Structure 1
Amino acid sequence: MSVNTIEHNRKRFNFEGIDAIWLFGYGSLIYKVDFPFLEKRPASIRGWVRRFWQASHDHRGTPEAPGRVVTLIEQPGAVCKGMAYRVSPHVFEYLDVREKNGYLRFSTTMTFDDGSHAEGLVYIATEDNEAFLGEASEADIARQIASATGPSGPNSEYLLRLAESLRALGDDCAHTFTIESHLRSVDNADR
């Protein structure tokens, strides 16, 4: 699949007759909320884990030196915490462009902190997209993040803001926090 998923996403769902829909964010959508929303609630989804396995050629890196950003990987029994936003379907005109680097919209069931559930959408970069990097050691991921910068800023800022946001949500994302620890070691070694 092409890296640019804008047109593919626009054909995936028909929003006719829908006034609002839930969107689940598990990466930068937790802390970089540059879109209008009607409601915001902490939530989680089951069967998925957050992994820094997707290249960022357009936001936190360049085609020549891509950064690494998160996607979701299926893992039975896992729980991924994040933030849910109830949005107008018109918001996806913007979000499809923001998330165009290999991410597709999928349906998901979200569980809110009060135990209630809702159906919504989530952007996931699957293994068959051209920007999928796949698994690497957390130390190697941290080194790549430390050296990458793109139009949206340093890749390290993405990682650090995500880690801070996950702590605020009470999420113990060992993958993210281990990469954060390695990144701080890389930064200290460079000083």
Structure 2
Amino acid sequence: MSADTIEHNRKRFDFSGIKSIWLFGYGSLIYKVDFPFLEQRPASIQGWVRRFWQASHDHRGTAEAPGRVVTLIEQPGAVCKGMAFRVSPSVFEHLDVREKNGYLRFSTTLTFESGGHAEGLVYIATEDNEAFLGHAPEADIARQIATAVGPSGPNSEYLFRLADSLRTLGDECTHTFAIEACLKKNS
């Protein structure tokens, strides 16, 4: 599948008659909220883990030197914490462009930190997109992040801002924190 998923996403869901929908953010959507929302609440989704397994050619790297950003990988029993935003469907005009590098919108059940559940959408870069990098040792991922820079800034900034946001949410994302530790150790 092509890394440019804009048109694919626009055909995936029919928002006719829908005034608002929940969106789950687990990466930069937690801290870079450049879209209007109606409500924001800490939430989690079940059966997924956050991994720096997706290349960023358009935001945190270039085609010649891609950065690494997070996607979700299925893992039974896992819980991924993040932020839920109740948004108007019109927000996806912007977000489909922002998340175009291999990310598709999927339905998911969100569990709110305060209790309760809701159906919503989440962007996931699946392993069949051409920008999917897959598993690598965390020290190797940290080295790639250390040198990558793209139109949205240094890849290291993405990692550090995400790690800080996860701590604020009370998430124990050992993968993110191990990469952060490697990066700090070698800088």
* TM-score category (smaller protein): over 0.9
Give per-residue Cα distances to partners, 1:147-183, cap 9 Å, x unaligned. Answer: 0000000000000000000000000000000000000
Aligned to 1:81: 81
Give per-residue Cα distances to partners, 1:21-52, cap 9 Å, x unaligned. Answer: 00000000000000000000000000000000
1:110-189 alignment, distance < 5 Å: 110-187=110-187
Relative to the length of structure 2, the TM-score reads 1.00
Q: Structure 1 counterpart of 2:99, which letter? A: E
Task: Give distance in 1, aligned partners of 2:6 and 2:135.
Answer: 25
Aligned to 2:14: 14
Q: Structure 2 counterpart of 1:10, which letter? A: R
Deviation at residue 185 of structure 1 after TM alignment: 1.1
**Structure 1: which 4+ aligned runs deviate by more than 4 Å?**
none
Task: Give distance in 2, aligned partners of 1:98 and 1:39.
Answer: 20
Please provide the CA RMSD for this pair: 0.3
Relative to the length of structure 1, the TM-score reads 0.98
Partner SS, residue 69 of structure 1: strand
1:86-105 alignment, distance < 5 Å: 86-105=86-105
Deviation at residue 114 of structure 1 after TM alignment: 1.7
Aligned to 1:24: 24
Deviation at residue 135 of structure 1 after TM alignment: 0.1
1:23-102 alignment, distance < 5 Å: 23-102=23-102
Percent identity over the alignment? 83
Task: Give distance in 1, aligned partners of 2:31 and 2:182.
Answer: 22
Task: Give distance in 2, aligned partners of 1:4 and 1:17.
Answer: 27
Partner SS, residue 49 of structure 2: strand
Count residues with an aligned counterpart: 187
Deviation at residue 140 of structure 1 after TM alignment: 0.2
Give per-residue Cα distances to partners, 1:103-141, cap 9 Å, x unaligned. Answer: 000000000012200000000000000000000000000
Partner SS, residue 175 of structure 2: helix
Deviation at residue 10 of structure 1 after TM alignment: 0.1
Q: Structure 2 counterpart of 1:40, which letter? A: Q
Task: Give distance in 2, aligned partners of 1:129 and 1:186.
Answer: 31
Partner SS, residue 90 of structure 1: helix
Partner SS, residue 15 of structure 2: coil
Deviation at residue 186 of structure 1 after TM alignment: 1.6
Q: Structure 1, unaligned stretches of length 5 or more?
A: none
Task: Give distance in 1, aligned partners of 2:163 and 2:116.
Answer: 26
Task: Give distance in 2, aligned partners of 1:142 and 1:20.
Answer: 38
